[in-house]
Chain A
Amino acid sequence: MSIVNQSAVNRREFLEIAGAGLLIVATAPWSDAQRGGGAGTLETRLHIGEDGFITVLSGKIEEGQGALTELAMAAAEELRVPLDRVRMVMGDTDQTPADGGTAGSGTTPRTAPLVRRAAATARDLLLASAGRQFGQQSPLGANVRLEVIDGAVQYAGKKYGYADLAHSPELAAAYKEALPANITVTPAKDWQLLGKPQVRLDIRELVTGAHRFPSDIVRPGMLYGCVLRAPSYGATLGGVDLSEAQKMPGVTAVQDGDFVACSAPTTFAARKALAAISATAQWKTVEQPSSDELFGYLKQHAKPQERPQAQGRGSVEKGLAESRTRLKASYQVPYVQHAPMEPRAAVAEWQDGRLTVWTGTSNPASVRQQLAETLGVAQDRVRVLVPHFGGGFGGKHTGEAATEAARLAREAGHPVAVRWTRAEEFMWAYFRPAALIEVEAGLDAGNAISAWDFTNYNSGAAALDTPYRIPNTRARFVASDPPLRQSSYRVLAATANNFAREAFTDELAEAAGKDPLEFRLSHLDNERMRNVLNAAAQRFGWVERRKKRRPGTGIGLACGTEKNSVVAACCEVEVDRVSGAPRLIEVVQAFECGAILNPANLRSQVEGAIMMGVGPALREEILFQDGKLTNARFATYRVPRFRDLPKLDVILLDRKDLESAGAGETPIIVIAPAIANAVFHATGKPVHTMPIRASG
């Protein structure tokens, strides 16, 4: 396996990397139709080189979630080649099929099958081509069954491999045709490579510091750019004077409406120039809401529903009216920031009216479109390359730095790098939406949930419905007019919706006089959810530990499902008597996402998701006032650190009989409610807000 370094790949270099072969005969970039990300033709997906190496192309990007290794494994499995014979080219709008952007845990269920089908097609071609070769001298016996082993077919002392296939006219013809619809991929039970732990293939470049992240890209003559930012949200520029900055050596300063920026030979010089510009800037500010009034604001600004967005069964009104016990609660989840370790970064280079941009985004195709529109050039004159970048978590679907770099580079006549500071990343990247969630439910005479009415204001509809068996339900998402710029975050609103539902479920269990595990199982038909719940509870020792009670500590559990995967966690917390702050002592989490493709990577994803989820559960909360953030620093916005690491036990259930589902998101959804329920257990007082505090 080798990683194609995309920092400097053009089409000719791609040929050199991928090796000569029959694919790269076209000189024009592939058409948009070919880039569509459907099954497509073989040539959009695979290149078989004369050296026998296979290059796999995908518009998906790598940001630490393990897509590169997974797709390489998927290809190698079907090709029957060792993993080191597969090369990956990803996230390059000139080379790769778009594959629909990297989001929504889609690589595993949607892209890996496309790669497998293309690879299986190539393997079948190899078999057929080999059969014809071997059959030319003497017909193959009726009972001869050819097989691809280690990238080659052997018969009667002769060998025919992918390097031979690369020369064949059969391959040239097959490249152009749509992938056969009836191609069979290897069933999970027969996998040799998939399903076994594989350390990520690009890890050596990462531990040596050799990998060039988007913020490490350097081009000849490159300058460093800085952008003038408003002091507060909604502020508009009244006037600014660029003249002082323009006198500084090597500085180019530009103004285009509210876009004011400069470039210089070093970041230090660019910052100095920006400071000179900033000192002259006059801003008109407008009144902005503050985080103190956030949840009232979201409800006041709720938008009338254009179409009824309700999922439901039975009649909630009737169910509530007939219930024996009625409970209601309101839950609050504040804004949080993704804060990936690598802030937004891009390098833009213009050459003969063509624009090339290296940037960290999960949507290279849409960033390309955005660049073309903003810069007024045709899309086919814009190329976006996405080197493996430093984390996104749903926070890098956009291309702000790319556009800024492109505007500056055109003005400066040099390539320009724009690398956001941490302060910029906190304030100007979009946030995970805040949520206000209102729930009301009723218990019938048998203490089963008979009615469930759930409304999410502002944050979204992911995992909105309840997985529990309830005869009368209604679940609504009501959009609001958000005070901050908000968009995707790992698993979207599923975290907020699971927090509210699972915390409230414990209140209902308490009212019903039932153990939370028993109460859930009595409402749960989903076999997969029952399995993870039982697996986590058993490993944790739920039944025995719930009976014992240690002062100041509590145990809690939660479960959920999203993106066709299921998850459950049990945890223990200790509550600080003075501050009410919970400390997480232990987590056992069980996760199941169908047939596991790479258990090593899956374990990392699950462990990482749990720990990332601990942040908003215990501390993370964006505070803002007068259009400014008041805690936009790692010193004050406390993300999880080593000291937050609990005793952690992850159980992965492998279901080889089920389709593989994505796993980068769902494992985050149960940690907050499990902690909330443990605090409820410790204090006897239910939890209604994140970050979680024991109420006094």
Chain B
Amino acid sequence: MATIRLSVNGKTRSVDTEPERPLLEVLREDLGLTGTKYGCGEGQCGSCTVLLDGAPAVSCVTTVRAAEGRKIVTIEGLAEGGTLHPVQQAFLDEGAVQCGYCTPGMVLRTVALLQTYPKPTDAQIVDGLNGNLCRCSDYHRIMAAVQRAAAGAGKKG
């Protein structure tokens, strides 16, 4: 056991845990942040995506030790007060959700994508999100949501 200090959604959280536990499990079981989902446990589906220092990471194969000292953002950390993050708003407006289990990972991956490519091409969206699975297979609608988010970001910029 070790005491690990994590920065999660702008707050410092201290956790007593085996340092080799997956970050995903600590977020969900120790910190109550269940918005981050388990999907495969091997980094193949993207359901567990969080941002680590702004870059997308699959938290199921990231140990909690490896996340220490880095800025972690989960789906719970995106909306400010009652205001949705523009990417969340775009998913909502587009209705790009069926069962919604992949949605937190899709949203966070999109946030990261738009930081790299504020006006992504379709090919950049496909490449950027290809690691995230949706078994409802709502890819067409998610694609539209990402385009909508990008268009909104473009207008502001």
**A604 touching B92 by the CB < 8 A rule?**
no
Chain B's interface size range is: 35 or more
When distances are taken between beta carbons in the complex, the residues of chain B under 8 Å from A267 are 25, 29
Contact residues of A between 337 and 377, Cβ < 8 Å to B: 338-343
A295 contacts across to B, CB distance below 8 A: none
Contacts of B45 in A (CB 8 A): 341, 422, 634
- Asked whether any CB of chain A lies closer than 8 Å to the CB of B53, the reply is no
8 Å CB contact of B98 from A65, A213, A610 = A65
Q: Which residue of A lies closest to B87 (CB)?
A: A207
Residues in B whose Cβ lies below 8 Å from that of A213: 34, 37, 101
Query: Is the beta-carbon distance between B18 and A268 smaller than 8 angstroms?
Result: yes
Residue among A204, A393, A605, A641 making CB contact with B133, cutoff 8 Å: A641
Q: Is the CB of A268 within 8 A of B21?
A: yes
Contacts of A338 in B (CB 8 A): 135
Q: Is A216 an interface residue (CB 8 A)?
A: yes
> Do A341 and B37 touch (CB < 8 A)?
yes
B40 to chain A, nearest CB (A): 4
- Asked whether, in the complex, the Cβ of B92 is within 8 Å of the Cβ of A612, the reply is no
Measured between beta carbons, the chain A residues less than 8 angstroms from B76 are 208-210
B151 contacts chain A at the CB level, 8 A cutoff = no
User: Contacting A207 at CB < 8 Å: which of B30, B103, B139, B141?
Assistant: B103
Cross-chain contact of B126 among A604, A635, A643 (Cβ < 8 A):
A643
List chain A residues, Cβ under 8 A from B35.
Answer: 208-210
Supposing A64-B98, A64-B99, A207-B103 touch, asked if A640 and B84 sit within 8 A by C-beta, the answer is no
| Cα–Cα, bound, A648→B126 (Å) | 15
Asked if A82 is at the interface of the complex by the 8 Å CB criterion, the answer is: no
Q: Is the CB of B99 within 8 A of A63?
A: yes
Shortest C-beta distance, B58 to chain A (Å), equals: 12
CB contact between B134 and one of A202, A341, A610 (< 8 Å): that residue: A341
C-beta contact mask, A232-266 vs B, less than 8 Å → 1, else 0? 00000000000000000000000000000000001
Min CB distance A420 to B, Å, is 10
User: Beyond A207-B88, A341-B47, A635-B44, is A645–B140 a contact (Cβ under 8 Å)?
Assistant: yes
A613-650 CB mask vs B (1 if < 8 Å, else 0) is 01100000000000000000111000111111100100
Docked CA distance A632–B45 (Å): 14
Q: Are B92 and A203 in contact (CB under 8 A)?
A: yes
A80 within 8 A of partner (CB): no
Instruction: Kindly report which residue of chain A lies nearest to residue B47, judged by CB atoms.
Output: A341
Checking B88, B102, B130, B137 against A611 with a beta-carbon cut-off of 8 angstroms, the contacting residue is B137
Shortest CB-to-CB span from B37 to chain A, Å, is: 7
Complex CA–CA separation, A535 to B93 (angstroms)? 29
**Of listed B36, B38, B101, residue having the most chain A CB within 10 A:** B101
Which residue in B25, B84, B101 is a CB contact (below 8 Å) of A342?
A: B101
Minimum CB–CB distance from B90 to chain A (whole Å) comes to 9
Query: A613 to nearest B CB, angstroms?
Result: 8
Nearest-neighbor residue (CB-CB) of A342 within chain B: B101
Decide: B34 and A608 in contact? CB cutoff 8 A. no
Taking a contact as CB atoms under 8 Å apart, the answer to whether A199 and B42 are in contact is: no
> Is B100 in the interface zone, CB < 8 Å from A?
yes
Tell me the interface secondary structure of chain B in the complex: loop
Interface status of A419 (Cβ within 8 A of chain B): yes
User: Known contacts being A209-B75, A342-B99, is A204 close to B135, with CB within 8 Å?
Assistant: no
Q: How many whole Å from A311's CB to the nearest CB in chain B? A: 32
User: What's the nearest-Cβ distance from chain B to residue A636, in Å?
Assistant: 9
Residue on B nearest A640 in the bound complex, by CB:
B137
A467 → chain B closest CB, angstroms: 26
Instruction: Known contacts A224-B29, A639-B133, A643-B126; decide if A611 and B140 are in contact (CB<8 Å).
Output: yes
B117-136 residues at the A interface, CB under 8 angstroms: 125-127, 129-130, 132-136
Q: Tell me if A211 counts as interface (CB < 8 A to partner B).
A: yes
B98 and A608: CB pair below 8 A? yes
Question: Given the complex of chains A and B, what is the CA–CA distance between A342 and B103 in angstroms?
Answer: 12
- Chain B residues with Cβ under 8 A from A266's Cβ? 21, 25, 29-30
Inter-chain contact A643/B130, CB cutoff 8 Å:
yes
Which residues of the other chain, A, contact B95 by a CB distance below 8 angstroms?
199-200, 203, 600-601, 604
Question: In the complex the two chains form, what is the Cα distance from A280 to B145 in whole Å?
Answer: 51
CA distance A266 to B75 in the complex (A): 22
Instruction: Determine the chain A residues whose CB is within 8 A of the CB of B139 once the complex forms.
Output: 611, 640-642, 644-645
Nearest CB on A from B110, distance (A): 11
- State whether the Cβ of A389 lies closer than 8 Å to any Cβ in chain B: yes
> Chain A, 203-233, contact with B by CB distance < 8 Å: what is the 0/1 string?
1101111111101101000001000000000
Considering only CB atoms, which chain B residue lies closest to A420 in the complex?
B38
A208 touches B135 (CB 8 A): no
- Name the CB-closest residue of B to A668: B137
Are B38 and A211 in touch, CB under 8 angstroms?
no
Tell whether, in the assembled complex, residue A604 and residue B98 are in contact, meaning their CB atoms are under 8 Å apart: yes
Enumerate A565-608 residues with CB–CB distance to B below 8 Å: 600-601, 603-605, 607-608
When distances are taken between beta carbons in the complex, the residues of chain A under 8 Å from B39 are 341-343, 422
Cα A64 to Cα B100 with chains together (Å) = 7
Given A63-B99, A209-B34: A648 touches B88 (CB 8 Å cut-off): no
Give the chain A neighbours of B18 by CB distance below 8 A.
268
Complex Cα gap A208–B35 (Å): 8
B55 within 8 A of A: no
Closest A residue to B93 using CB positions: A199
Q: With A203-B92, A212-B34 as given contacts, are A633 and B40 in contact (CB-CB < 8 Å)?
A: yes
Pairs A-B, 5 closest by C-beta atoms? A209-B35, A64-B99, A390-B101, A206-B100, A611-B137
- Other A-B contacts than A66-B98, A207-B88, A422-B42, 13 sampled, CB-CB below 8 A, are A64-B136, A200-B95, A207-B91, A209-B35, A212-B34, A267-B29, A342-B101, A419-B38, A422-B39, A423-B41, A611-B139, A612-B136, A645-B139
Binding site for A on B (CB under 8 A): 18, 21-22, 25, 28-30, 32-42, 44-45, 47, 74-76, 78-79, 84, 88, 91-93, 95, 97-104, 107, 125-127, 129-130, 132-141, 143
20 contacts between A and B (CB under 8 A): A64-B100, A64-B101, A199-B92, A200-B95, A202-B100, A204-B84, A207-B100, A208-B78, A210-B35, A218-B34, A341-B45, A388-B99, A423-B41, A601-B95, A604-B95, A604-B141, A612-B135, A642-B143, A643-B127, A645-B143
